[in-house]
Amino acid sequence: WVTNEIIHNPLVNENLAKMGFEFVKTNEDGIKDFTVVQKGDVVILPAFGASIDEMAFLKDQGVQIVDTTCPWVSKVWQSVEKSKDKGHTAIIHGKYAHEETIATMSFAKKYLVVKNMDEAEYVVQYMLGKGDREEFMAKFAKAMPEGFDPDVDLDKVGVANQTTMLKGETELVGKLFERTMIRKFGPQEVDQHFVSFNTICDATQERQDAMYKMFGAEYEAPSSTLYAEMEGEQVGIELKSEKQGPGLSSRAMEDEVRGEAGEAAAAPTKVDLCLVVGGFNSSNTFQLGEIS
Distance CA 90, CA 92 (A): 6
Distance CA 81, CA 105 (A): 10
Tell me how far CA of residue 163 lies from CA of 20, 25, 67, 91, 284, in angstroms.
Answer: 30, 25, 18, 14, 10
Per 3-state DSSP, the chain is made up of helix, strand and coil in percentages (nearest 5) of: 45, 10, 45
According to DSSP, the residues that pair with 191 across neighbouring strands are none
Beta-carbon contacts of 200 under 8 Å, excluding residues fewer than 6 positions away, are: 161, 167, 170, 171, 247, 248
Residue 37 and residue 55 in contact, taking contact as beta carbons nearer than 8 Å: no
Distance CA 218, CA 83 (A): 36
44 secondary structure, DSSP code: E
180 secondary structure, DSSP code: H
Distance CA 49, CA 60 (A): 18
The angle, 0 to 180 degrees and rounded to 10, between the axes of the packed helices 225-233 and 117-127 is 50
Query: What number of residues does the chain have?
Result: 292
Residue 211 and residue 196 in contact, taking contact as beta carbons nearer than 8 Å: no
Among the options 54, 99, 100, 171, which is catalytic? Answer: 100
256 is catalytic: no
Distance CA 275, CA 262 (A): 21
Catalytic residue positions? 100
